Amino acid sequence: MIKIGIAGYGNLGKGVEKAIELNSDMKLSAVFTRRNPKNIKLRTDSAQVIEYNRIAEFKNEIDVIINCGGSACDLPLTTPKIAEYFNVIDSFDTHTRIKEHFDAVDKISKSSKKTAIISVGWDPGLFSLARIYSQAVLSSGNTYTFWGRGVSQGHSDAVRRIDGVLDARQYTVPVMSAIEKVQNGDNADFSAREMHTRECYVVAENGANKKEIERKIKTMPNYFADYDTTVNFISEEEMKHSHSGLPHGGRVIRNGKTDENINHTVEFSLKLDSNPEFTGSILAAFARAAYRLNKKGETGCRTVLDIPPVLLLPESINTMKLL
Amino acid sequence: MIKIGIAGYGNLGKGVEKAIELNSDMKLSAVFTRRNPKNIKLRTDSAQVIEYNRIAEFKNEIDVIINCGGSACDLPLTTPKIAEYFNVIDSFDTHTRIKEHFDAVDKISKSSKKTAIISVGWDPGLFSLARIYSQAVLSSGNTYTFWGRGVSQGHSDAVRRIDGVLDARQYTVPVMSAIEKVQNGDNADFSAREMHTRECYVVAENGANKKEIERKIKTMPNYFADYDTTVNFISEEEMKHSHSGLPHGGRVIRNGKTDENINHTVEFSLKLDSNPEFTGSILAAFARAAYRLNKKGETGCRTVLDIPPVLLLPESINTMKLL
């Protein structure tokens, strides 16, 4: 049994816990939290809830820590620290800062002789794998990534920060006609606006200036200004009833040629009822790989691109049958 | 530059040759053939055409041999022999005999300190990868593989062997309603007939008994008896005009759950204008991986499931950017 620890018990941590239940070669040993452990009730009766600052005490009792903190402020600080004592997995997803995070984690995990795998999830993660395999087998071509329809937490948070907004949910929606173009081998050049639209559902305070909220959303740089955005004001009840899930998905499509009129299309797509539960499942599979790499003495930091796929499944499964 | 040799210059060998042209870190050194080398004209001016039985003489001049023989009779004999002298890639695709072939190649390549990767292509190959990744991240679920619409060489050959048949092409066609069921998360149990149909285009001899040919096709065990098969008799001209390509494709879909009502669907699909050219491109990418593994001293036989994806791209590409 691979003994797993979860650091952080939000949506993602809870998703990892469910994934561990579904994998018979793993068990959850402990959840580490910055909240009061007494206020946390796990699904897993046999696991402990421990204060985060006591994590190092468990270094001989846990094989891999799955770090479920946020990318912006938490993971860059905590993953390197955890790597001093543990094999560690995280889902760091700030694409432009992955190299920096990698180097920090690599340095520490090499000296502690631990194995870390960072930026595990579906993007970065499974989508990165789709990009590397499709580029490797179609060296001449173009790769397109479409996200959604799904809830973007970052964009939802951005709307929530606007004055007069009580709650908000933002869906990223791919433009179907663009997807169809790419699927049909059209190597088009798209603007951001041509690939995705943004749909916002907003609960406003009583008496708030809705026109002004809508204007602020639609003109927000980086988040909305470059997209066709629709804003729908709804009641708290409707938010709860129709927008409580965290569905997501998307697709990576590569078009390539092997001769003038010989086109090939490779597509990888996901349709997910729960983004954190699916991401949690991916983290659990890569935790298994980290554990096995470490047993083989392969220490330091890795990304999903470095991992032989065979290490992701329990050793009890005859992977030859999947060929 | 990675120096590649191609063994066998049929459709697949020619596909590999085109792929090498598209990869700037590779060059084709020689093609080995059982035909008279004088009768073969390569696309690549700088490469030699050599009699197959002289292959061992080139052991110091070639980094990897891509063995492009047939699975049924050729690869089980030739890949182990080639592995005595070279790193070697093949596309062995008799699923039930992969383990046996693996063991034979592994034994020899270990003792010769060479690296082999067998069963490289899209199925087995990229589809095997789709199966292993999707199973790893959705441990509770079902995986479905659909092939086509595309030309099956084995089924085309089976029709050609019938008395009175001059030429034949068989298309494997997936049943769209079955695909849609699976895409919508329906974990149905399908019979062979419910997943694929078979379309045959046949050029018959003058005066041949077409009714009898059609009966023989439709009742042929293993190949057609378990499927809804349509047989179309066409002229030689129409065969040449409308059925000279070798398009193919297909998809691997896995449905899984992380909780009672939380479903996820992972899909990997291919749409290929030329099966041998796309397969050739995959072989070239894995030849690069074999070369790099061998440089690191990792010898013996591998399958695609063992290969870290990062080894598939030229070292000049910053793979971090694909995350």
Mean pLDDT of B184-189: 89
Smallest CA–CA distance from B254 into chain A, residue: A270
The answer, yes or no, to whether residue B201 has pLDDT greater than 90, is yes
A208 min Cα distance to partner chain B (Å): 36
Is the Cβ pair A126, B137 closer than 8 Å? Answer: yes
CA distance A137 to A178: 23
Is the Cβ pair A124, B323 closer than 8 Å? Answer: yes
Tell me the torsion sign for CA atoms A14, B139, A143, B172.
Answer: negative
At B70 the pLDDT is 86
Neighbours of B193 (CB within 10 A): 14
Neighbours of B321 (CB within 10 A): 12
Which of B131, B309, B320 faces A133 most closely, judged by CB atoms?
B309
Task: Write the CA distances from B39 to B30, B49, B52, integer angstroms.
Answer: 15, 10, 14
The residue to which tokens 């999903």 are assigned? A304
Neighbours of B135 (CB within 10 A): 22
**φ/ψ of residue A212, rounded to 5:** -70, -40
At A158 the pLDDT is 95
At B187 the pLDDT is 86
* pLDDT tens-place string over residues A285-315: 999 999 999 999 999 999 999 999 999 999 9
The answer, yes or no, to whether residue B291 has pLDDT greater than 90, is yes
Is residue A27 a contact partner of residue A20, using CB atoms and an 8 Å limit? yes
Interface test with A, best of B25, B137, B252 (most A CBs within 10 A): B137
Helix (H) / strand (E) element for B64: namely strand B64-67
Which residues contact residue A216 at a Cβ distance below 8 angstroms, ignoring those fewer than 6 apart? A162
The residue to which tokens 């937490």 are assigned? A153
At B72 the pLDDT is 79
CA angle centred on B127, ends B126 and B130, rounded to 5°: 90
Long-range own/partner contacts, residues B178-181 (CB < 8 A, 24 or more apart): B178/B146, B179/B146, B179/B251, B179/B253
CA distance B285 to B15: 13
* pLDDT tens-place string over residues B140-166: 999 999 999 999 999 999 999 999 999
Number of A–B residue contacts, CB under 8 Å: 199
User: CA nearest A259: which of B19, B23, B42?
Assistant: B19
CA distance B183 to B188: 11
B172 min Cα distance to partner chain A (Å): 18
* Residue B218 amino acid letter: K
Mean pLDDT, chain B, rounded, equals 97
Task: Write the CA distances from A157 to A34, A96, A152, A201, integer angstroms.
Answer: 22, 20, 9, 12
Is the Cβ pair A322, B132 closer than 8 Å? Answer: yes
CA distance B48 to A88: 51
Is residue B311 a contact partner of residue B293, using CB atoms and an 8 Å limit? yes
CA distance B254 to B142: 6
Question: Measured between beta carbons, which residues in chain A are less than 8 angstroms from residue B271?
Answer: 183, 185, 264-265, 267
Question: Measured between beta carbons, which residues in chain B are less than 8 angstroms from residue A128?
Answer: 322-323
Is residue B146 a contact partner of residue A289, using CB atoms and an 8 Å limit? no
pTM of the complete model beyond 0.90: yes
Is the Cβ pair B305, A309 closer than 8 Å? Answer: yes
Which of A258, A280, A282 faces B281 most closely, judged by CB atoms?
A258
Neighbours of B102 (CB within 10 A): 20
**φ/ψ of residue B202, rounded to 5:** -125, 130
* pLDDT tens-place string over residues A241-260: 999 999 999 999 999 999 99
* pLDDT tens-place string over residues A202-231: 999 999 999 999 999 999 999 999 999 999
Is residue B195 a contact partner of residue B173, using CB atoms and an 8 Å limit? no
Confidence category of residue B266, pLDDT binned at 50, 70, 90: very high
Confidence category of residue A39, pLDDT binned at 50, 70, 90: very high
B251 min Cα distance to partner chain A (Å): 9
CA distance B103 to A243: 54
CA distance A182 to A56: 49
Helix (H) / strand (E) element for B213: namely helix B210-218
